[in-house]
């Protein structure tokens, strides 16, 4: 791999750095701060990025993009993470957006993509159900045909950001008699449609990031079906790899690692000093490996190669690295490591404890670690099933 950036990419990175430093008042070395209450939708910040065209650099110009490689968009996301910027609506731009670009009608592209590029349209995902998580094809939410509409009935769990989303990218069963992989369709459901109910689900942090969403005879125009009827499984397979390389990014946790390094340098840990050196050295290696895996996956995506096994490696390694990082942080900080935001004695406003609890979900969302290992084995290594 060649890690050198083109002059255009270097200019983009420098411009993004200047904007983030001026807007957030923080550079790469600023201590981390905990995620604020609520889900990670920060619409004002999102719109500022959209005004500069930084939400959709790799989309075609006619839909609000700049026609640049996906790697250029990745550079923007990397700098936002390194500067501690609020997470943008990745669910819409990196999951719904590419799906609409690849499988949507021209009408859908014109309706959805430009406002998404401006940061004006937020999405949530309607994937997981009580009995359909890792086995997404087991979804039971039903969408029956009624003239020009689908009538949707069902229940979804852990829908991040549903309380503030404009649309839900919904996995629904349109042919209940077909084999489970063959009877699924993907619908764009307006979240203000009659019959849609959102209830909060609270995580280990006692924060409202997730939701239960129920659909009670919700009428969805058939023109909002994305991709072929009953062909939703193939559409989903094309999107999961993008989610895994975009949402699970090592640099989101880099600031905590740098802060922990400074803390260990400044404190005498006595007999624990040797252990601290070993564990921090392992984490430093981990971040280098994570960056290599991530860059390679993005470049494979840009070159039209099958990057799905690589994306599974990215998701698996990065999510487990995050858990190792916060485990080390809480351990080295001792009693102070368990203090949450709001405590005057909590290092970095409780970022270590906050990250420790938050990272628990990273090896579950977008496919568990076991699922990722199966993808690597079956698709990447061509190992037999069973």
Q: What is the pLDDT of residue 376?
A: 93
The DSSP call for residue 336 is: G
Q: Which domain holds residue 288?
A: 248-380
Domain presence at residue 55: yes
In terms of domains, do 78 and 128 share one? Answer: no
Q: How many CB atoms lie within 10 A of CB 188?
A: 23
Which segments of 222-311 are extended strands (E)? 225-226
Sign of the C-alpha dihedral computed for residues 250, 252, 258 and 261 taken in this order = negative
Tokens of 381: 């290594």
Which domain-ending residue is among 122, 141, 163?
122
CATH classification at residue 283: 1.20.140.10
In terms of domains, do 273 and 371 share one? Answer: yes
Domain presence at residue 385: no
Task: For residues 87 and 81, give the distance between their C-alpha atoms in angstroms, rounded to a whole number.
Answer: 8
In terms of domains, do 35 and 132 share one? Answer: no
Q: Report the number of distinct structural domains present in the chain.
A: 3
Q: What is the pLDDT of residue 39?
A: 39
DSSP states along 209-275: EEEEEEEEEEEEEGGGEESSTTBHHHHHHHHHHHHHHHTS-GGGGHHHHHHHHHHHHHS--GGGHHH
Q: What is the pLDDT of residue 320?
A: 95
Angle CA 150–136–196, to nearest 5 = 40
Cβ atoms of residues 156 and 200 within 8 Å: no
C-alpha 279: how far from chain center: 27
In terms of domains, do 25 and 140 share one? Answer: no
Task: For residues 182 and 79, give the distance between their C-alpha atoms in angstroms, rounded to a whole number.
Answer: 40
Task: For residues 168 and 295, give the distance between their C-alpha atoms in angstroms, rounded to a whole number.
Answer: 30
CATH classification at residue 65: 1.10.540.10
> Who contacts 275 (Cβ-Cβ below 8 Å, separation ≥6)?
none
- Specify the residue for token string 């698996």: 316
Tokens of 170: 């919904």
Q: What is the pLDDT of residue 132?
A: 82
Task: For residues 379 and 370, give the distance between their C-alpha atoms in angstroms, rounded to a whole number.
Answer: 14
349-373 b/e with 16+ CB inside 10 Å = b? bbbbbbbbbbbebbbebbbbbebbe
3-state secondary structure of 86: coil
Q: What is the pLDDT of residue 7?
A: 95
Which domain-ending residue is among 75, 106, 122?
122
Domain presence at residue 371: yes
How many angstroms separate the Cα of 176 from the Cα of each of 116, 140, 145, 223, 247? 33, 8, 12, 21, 32
In terms of domains, do 212 and 167 share one? Answer: yes
In terms of domains, do 45 and 79 share one? Answer: yes
Domain presence at residue 235: no
10-residue mean pLDDT series, the chain (386 residues):
87 94 78 51 82 93 94 89 73 86 95 94 92 84 97 95 94 93 95 97 86 97 96 82 68 89 93 95 96 90 88 93 96 94 90 92 87 92 89
In terms of domains, do 159 and 270 share one? Answer: no
In terms of domains, do 253 and 376 share one? Answer: yes
Cβ atoms of residues 131 and 138 within 8 Å: yes
Q: What is the pLDDT of residue 40?
A: 47
In terms of domains, do 268 and 309 share one? Answer: yes
Domain presence at residue 239: no
In terms of domains, do 46 and 137 share one? Answer: no
Q: Beta strand pairing status for 149-156 and 142-146?
A: antiparallel
Domain presence at residue 106: yes
Domain presence at residue 286: yes
CATH classification at residue 143: 2.40.110.10
Task: For residues 33 and 52, give the distance between their C-alpha atoms in angstroms, rounded to a whole number.
Answer: 25
Domain presence at residue 240: no
Q: What is the pLDDT of residue 87?
A: 62
Q: How many CB atoms lie within 10 A of CB 345?
A: 8
Q: What is the pLDDT of residue 60?
A: 96
Q: How many CB atoms lie within 10 A of CB 240?
A: 19
- Specify the residue for token string 């995580």: 203
Residue 236: its H or E element: helix 232-246
In terms of domains, do 90 and 189 share one? Answer: no
In terms of domains, do 76 and 129 share one? Answer: no
Which domain-ending residue is among 230, 263, 292?
230
């Amino acid at each position: 791999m060649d890690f050198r950036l083109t002059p255009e990419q270097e200019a983009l990175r420098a411009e993004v750095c200047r904007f983030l430093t001026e807007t957030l008042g923080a550079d790469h070395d600023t201590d981390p701060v905990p995620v604020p209450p609520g889900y990670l939708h920060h619409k004002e910040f999102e719109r500022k990025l959209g005004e500069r065209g930084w939400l959709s650099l790799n989309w075609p110009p006619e839909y609000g993009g700049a026609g640049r490689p996906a790697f250029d968009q990745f550079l923007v996301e990397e700098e936002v993470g390194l500067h501690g910027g609020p997470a943008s609506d990745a669910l819409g731009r990196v999951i719904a957006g590419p799906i609409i670009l690849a499988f949507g009608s021209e009408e859908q592209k014109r309706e959805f993509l430009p406002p998404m590029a401006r940061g004006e349209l937020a999405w949530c995902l309607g994937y997981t159900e009580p009995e359909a998580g890792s086995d997404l094809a087991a979804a039971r939410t039903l969408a029956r045909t009624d003239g020009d509409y689908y009538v949707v009935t069902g229940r979804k769990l852990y829908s991040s950001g549903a309380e503030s989303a404009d649309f839900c990218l919904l996995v629904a069963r349109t042919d209940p008699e077909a084999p489970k992989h063959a009877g699924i369709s993907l619908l764009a459901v307006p979240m203000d449609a009659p019959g849609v109910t959102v209830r909060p689900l609270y995580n280990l942090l006692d924060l409202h990031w997730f939701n239960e969403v129920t659909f009670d005879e919700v009428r969805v125009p058939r023109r909002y079906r994305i991709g072929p009827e009953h062909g939703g499984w193939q559409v989903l397979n094309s999107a999961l790899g993008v989610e895994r390389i975009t949402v699970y990014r090592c640099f989101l946790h880099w600031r905590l690692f740098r802060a922990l390094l400074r803390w260990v340098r400044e404190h005498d840990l006595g007999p624990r000093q040797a252990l601290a050196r070993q564990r921090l050295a392992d984490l430093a290696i981990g971040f280098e490996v994570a960056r290599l895996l991530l860059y390679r996956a993005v470049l494979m995506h840009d070159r039209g190669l099958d990057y799905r096994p690589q994306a599974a490696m990215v998701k698996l390694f990065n999510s487990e690295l995050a858990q190792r990082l916060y485990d080390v942080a809480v351990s080295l900080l001792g009693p102070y490591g368990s203090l949450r935001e709001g405590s005057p004695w909590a290092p970095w406003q409780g970022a270590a404890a906050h990250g420790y609890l938050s990272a628990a979900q990273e090896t579950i969302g977008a496919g568990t670690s076991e699922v990722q290992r199966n993808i690597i084995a079956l698709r990447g290594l061509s190992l037999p099933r069973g």
